[in-house]
Amino acid sequence: MGRTMSRRTVLTAAGGLAGAGLVGGLAARQLSDPRPGTGPTLPDAPAGEERLIRIASAARGREVDFWTAVPDGYGDGRGLPVCLVLHGASATPRDFGRFGLARFLTDAVRRGAPPFALAGAAGGRLSWRASGDDDPQRMVREEVPIWCARRGFDSSRVAVWGWSMGGFGALLLAQAYPRWLRMAAAFSPAVRPGDAVFAGAEKLRGTPVGLWCGRQDNVLPDVRALARALPEEPVRAAWADGRHNFGYWGTVIPDAFALLGGALSPPRT
């Protein structure tokens, strides 16, 4: 059972990000230096029901933070499909409120995206891979859908989205469980030729993949190389001005959420 820390709309996005624009992170690799200044420009839309709880994860061998958000106007989100959120190395689900993710979700739905819920659990800094008895990928595959189903979400319709380390993890998850996910969306994924994502690229066949990366981001050459290495053309491969932070990622969330909503909307036949 989860231990509730917050109930309805208790995480606020007011004020955006403080300080340097939080690097999603790839340990042991030099990424673009975070720059002081703006975080994401938040949309003029309210958060719907947003919750943060502590819940026991057998796959990780500990309690973890588990965050969910539903677009405003959709109550508790019963029956909505789910986009799993995989955070970067410098973030946790406790940061999702100030990133404004729930507000971006409401805004996307108001602009015409089919409604869906967001759900993300803390995966530590393991690049969403197993280390000994700590297996955040197994948590995402086996436990998070159960936690979502308990909330009344439709765990038979699932997509994944992540940034930096979480973008790497999102692609790795799609490879590990082919055709389970309706779509895998990755912002500035922390990939490089020869790593597990490149080596398993063929396993992404049949899973729509979206890739976004800033032109001033050090990972851009490798993300472009991945786009070329995919067995099928990505549904989006977008490179615009921006660095490795939420100042840039906030500008492409609307595009990603529109695609994710569309991928999640058709019921399975």
For 161-200, write each residue's pLDDT tens digit: 999 999 999 999 999 999 999 999 999 999 999 999 999 9
For 20-37, what is the mean pLDDT? 33
Which of 3-7, 22-26, 95-99 has the lowest average pLDDT? Answer: 22-26
- Per-residue pLDDT at 40: 87
- Per-residue pLDDT at 37: 39
For 90-102, write each residue's pLDDT tens digit: 999 999 999 999 9
Rounded to whole angstroms, the Cα distance separating 170 from 84 reads: 9
Q: Which two tokens stand for residue 213?
A: 């990366």
Rounded to whole angstroms, the Cα distance separating 181 from 158 reads: 5
Q: pLDDT confidence of 2, banded at 50, 70, 90? A: low
DSSP string, 129-198: S-BTTB-HHHIIIIIHHHHHHHTT--TTSEEEEEETHHHHHHHHHHHHSTTTSS-EEEES----TTSHHH
pLDDT beyond 80 at 18: no
Q: Where are the domains of the chain?
A: 3-264
In angstroms, the first-to-last Cα distance of the chain is: 32
pLDDT beyond 90 at 124: yes
- Per-residue pLDDT at 123: 98
Residues 156, 116 contacting (CB under 8 angstroms): no
Nearest one of 15, 30, 32, 2 to 245, comparing CA atoms: 32
Q: Which CATH number fits domain 3-264: 3.90.950.20, 1.20.59.10, 3.40.50.1820, 3.20.20.70?
A: 3.40.50.1820
For 47-105, write each residue's pLDDT tens digit: 999 999 999 999 999 999 999 999 999 999 999 999 999 999 999 999 999 999 999 99
